[in-house]
Chain A
Amino acid sequence: MNHYAAWKNALIVFFLLISSLYAIPNIYGSDLAIQVTGTGDYVVDEVDLDNISTILSDSDVKFKSISIDSRNILVRFGDSQSQLSSKTILNNLLSRNYVVALNLAPSIPQWLGNLGGKAMSLGLDLRGGVHFLLEVDMDAVVSMSIDRYYNELRTLLRKDKLYKKIRKEETFLVVNFKNENLKNDAKKIIKKELPELVSSEVDGSPLDLILKISLKAQNDSKSSALKQNITTLRNRVNELGVAEPIIQQQGLERIVVQLPGVQDTARAKEILGAVATVEFRLVDEKNDVQTAIQSGKIPSGSKIYKFKDGRPLLLKTSVIATGENIVDASSSVDSDNSPMVNISLNNAGGKIMLETTKEFLGARMAVVFIENQVETIIKDGVTTKKRTKTQDIINAATIQGTFSNRFQITGLDSAREARNLALLLRAGSLSAPIEIIEERTIGPSLGADNIQKGFISVLVGFALVLVFMAWRYRVFGLVANVALTLNLITIVSILSIIQATLTLPGIAGIVLTVGMAVDANVLIFERIKEEMRTNKNIQKAISSGYEKALLTIADANITTLIASIVLFSFGTGAIKGFAVTLSIGIITSMFTAIIVSRAMINLIYGGKKNKELAI
């Protein structure tokens, strides 16, 4: 009676073969590689492949292979030296239509790749990289829309001189009218032209009208700000050259950015968080800044700005062009070897620039660097947001001749600063300030350490359990060991197939499953031993041992599964990884420890007239 039907055995073997097959990709290592991807809509093709391979051959860089898939060109290298030098070479020679990123490419044989075999994807803690959680300053988004409506309202009501005064508050506008009639007219116009504004009366002052932005309009502008920020962040990440970045919305006001394998994390942080732009303004040459400061009277149409070192200068309030007009920017050095940024403006910006430089030849034009920052501050248990806006003059140079859409910004402190500014201007500015509220960076050396330590601890733990089980349960122990090994293989193959991310806590989950997976076998074997004491028939002992232990195993495993599902739904990154491997391990262990081990026991003892069991 201890016999599985042939089809049942075949099914088990088939299943185990499949899972072994999909676990195989993980035994191949990975190559150091460079991944070249097109930016925006541009998709790399065979021509690019030839081009890159020629560039690398001409520069005497040795590479193992070069290949192309649907979206990327992948160049594999034997050592990191040639990988890194190729990145520099390609970055310099390829146009900005391409993103060149360092990557690790799994070296899976062709046939396995064709079958869809993939290695497990490693989490940031194993391969190194940066995880950022960014929060968009939504209050700033609202106050920016208030600014916008303030301007629109003034234009709208100005033509019939309907209003007397408009006052801007943090989250609403107050309009003051001369009389009821004008107020009623204005209300009608507002309702028609600016339906996003909701009006309400002010107690005690009947000639005032409060205008708020409707909740729906507020939410719309918040969600569009978030989307726009994600787009800008994606542009910036592309500029940094990262393979397989993750940029995702989380909740209503947060963005997760994960950059695997980034080496220069400080730069990544500077670039991602920066809300910077530039403005071009004329210098007020008619008035003296010192007199303005001493008298406290600032000439109308002008404002005091400062250089980084603190020197003041009077600039005109009207702006010639802003960062929004910039279509391209790149950094280089001038003839004196000092850093500069080359700017290209769009048509509108170029036209204004041409007119301005014609009219004000010989006057000075200043470049103002504007940066918005937001920080969360805790004081006496109360969290508040502190916003700072820095406006520094980068330089103020005399307009030597007329120019339109192409010119340079000089006066930058360092090549690094020039490079960062060019990148930020190129990638576009963020529509609202963001703040990094969580950062987890794992350096490449710790990542490698973690893999090694995780691997060794799985191996040692596994070996210890194997030895113990073989000693304690003899033949049955060996059967349990085979089941345990198959369990480990099945876990790895499932993780590979669903491409779940393996993290260090994930490895801990696997280790724990190894310890717990034998539990099912221990339960069964102890039960068989017990049955043998009361009943001398070994066949009956085996079958009733398995049967009686089954319910207990199910109960015990389901409760653990409940705990790990809760872990999964509440946990963040690292904990999720643990919960995933633990849940998968529990399920696969039920299969291997009950069904697979039974099949083996049946093959060994089933139908034979043994009097003794080696248990």
Chain B
Amino acid sequence: MNLKSLNIPVIDFVGRRKYAMIFSAILLIISLASIGFQGLKFGIDFTGGTLIELGYEKTANLEEIRSKLISADFKGTNVQYFGSDTEVLIQLEPQAASSAKLSSSIIRMLGEGIDVRRVEFVGPKVGEELTNDGGLAMLYALIGILIYVAFRFEYRFALGSIAALIHDVIITLGVFSLLQIEFDLTVLAAILAVIGYSLNDTIVVFDRIRENFLATRQVEAGPIVNEALNQTLSRTLMTSFTTLLVLFALFYLGGEVIHSFAGALLIGVIIGTYSSIYVASSTVLAMGISKEDMLPSEKEKKEIDARP
């Protein structure tokens, strides 16, 4: 099949993969450096502590709230507007004696007639457990995917997709660390969803690479991979675009509570689209994939022969 004769623009992705690698390397280094030096701004789900969201009828006076908290001897408080200037978010680090009662006493202290929109309290032990569970979830998701891809394709593809996933996760975390956006449980869920999404993209490309290897006599891997990337390009971009459309709707209209969740998905989808084009297939190429690796087992061969 000759793409040029079909009026499909041919972009030399494989030839430019060196630039992509440098680009990815820079992003990864910045991300890792930020995560290493600055760290993530973990929310109370992981650190433990108390969070109170209050709704005032008029513009709330943050200074007054702060001074009241300080005079009542609360340590490590953070008071800020949340969404609008009539809504206030108060966050408290775990106190020497953390208990669910703190929030009640703060609300009582700030006075009557305030709308208590949200109270969250996470005890220190629970925070620790959520962190461990979160880390485990990430690990198991990666292992599960690795097994499935290795089983459906070939181990080099599995490694390629995992490389792309780790790339996406690190860079998404890096953006959260750089911009110091709060990292809570919903963001963790978003990152796991990004893993699923980015993989979805990668699999589609891999599927095409395998198909092309089997359909042609050409033995050189580079052009085959490049052809697959071009063939799937419009689908990759279309799907990312529709997903981004709904994510923008969530990001701007979904409210403060899922703002960072939608943000994580937005970043993840963009990075995931890029990585499925450049990172995943580059990794596969770098590990030296060849036509022989693609030859199907007897059973699969029959299935393919049976195709029209």
Q: Does B234 contact A (CB under 8 A)?
A: yes
**Assuming the A-B contacts A378-B98, A552-B204, A578-B193, are A450 and B123 also in contact, with contact meaning beta carbons closer than 8 angstroms in the complex?**
no
Asked if B249 CB lies within 8 Å of chain A CBs, one says yes
Check B203 against A441 for contact (C-beta < 8 Å): no
Q: Are B246 and A512 in contact (CB under 8 A)?
A: yes
Please determine whether A555 and B203 come into contact, CB atoms closer than 8 angstroms: yes
- Which positions 91-139 of chain B face chain A at CB distance < 8 Å? 94, 96-101, 103-104, 107-108, 115-126, 130, 133-134, 136-137
The size bracket of the interface on B is 35 or more
User: From B265, which residue of chain A is reached at the shortest CB distance?
Assistant: A512
Across the interface, which residues of B come within 8 angstroms of A422, CB to CB? none
A439 x B100 contact (CB < 8 A): yes
Query: Of the candidates B140, B232, B243, which one forms a contact with A512 in the assembled complex, judged by CB atoms under 8 Å apart?
Result: B243
Q: Which of A541-594 contact B (CB under 8 A)?
A: 543-544, 547-548, 551-552, 555-567, 569-572, 574-575, 578-579, 582
Q: Does A54 contact B (CB under 8 A)?
A: no
| A378 with B141, Cβ < 8 A, contacts A443-B118, A457-B253, A505-B258 known | no
Of B61-69, B144-152, B170-178, B286-294, the one contacting chain A is: B144-152
Number of residues of chain A lying within 8 A (CB) of chain B? 87
Interface string of A445-457 (1 = CB under 8 A from B): 1100110011011
Q: For the complex, is A465 an interface residue (Cβ under 8 Å from B)?
A: yes
The interface centre, meaning the residue of B97, B108, B136 with most chain A CB atoms within 10 A of its CB, is B97
Q: Residue among A377, A438, A551 with the most chain B CB within 10 A?
A: A438
Closest chain A CB from B54 CB (angstroms):
9
Q: How far is the CA of A567 from the CA of B197 in the complex (A)?
A: 14
Q: Does A518 contact B (CB under 8 A)?
A: yes
Contacts from B to A (Cβ < 8 Å): 1, 6-8, 53, 55, 94, 96-101, 103-104, 107-108, 115-126, 130, 133-134, 136-137, 140-141, 144-145, 148-149, 152, 185-186, 188-189, 192-193, 195-197, 199-201, 203-204, 207-208, 211, 231-232, 234-235, 238-239, 241-250, 253-255, 257-258, 261-262, 265, 307-308
Binding site for B on A (CB under 8 A): 125, 132-133, 135, 265-266, 269-270, 273, 375-379, 383, 386, 435-443, 445-446, 449-450, 453-454, 456-458, 460-462, 464-465, 468-469, 472, 504-505, 507-508, 511-512, 514-516, 518-519, 522-523, 526, 530, 533-534, 543-544, 547-548, 551-552, 555-567, 569-572, 574-575, 578-579, 582
Beyond A457-B249, A504-B254, A522-B239, 18 extra complex contacts between A and B, CB < 8 Å = A377-B97, A383-B124, A438-B123, A441-B120, A445-B115, A454-B255, A457-B253, A511-B254, A512-B246, A512-B247, A516-B200, A555-B203, A556-B200, A563-B141, A563-B192, A563-B195, A567-B192, A571-B189
28 A-B pairs whose Cβ atoms sit less than 8 Å apart in the complex: A135-B123, A135-B125, A265-B119, A266-B104, A270-B104, A273-B101, A375-B99, A378-B98, A383-B124, A436-B100, A438-B123, A438-B126, A443-B117, A454-B254, A456-B253, A462-B246, A511-B247, A514-B246, A516-B243, A526-B235, A547-B308, A555-B207, A556-B200, A556-B207, A559-B203, A560-B199, A570-B136, A575-B189
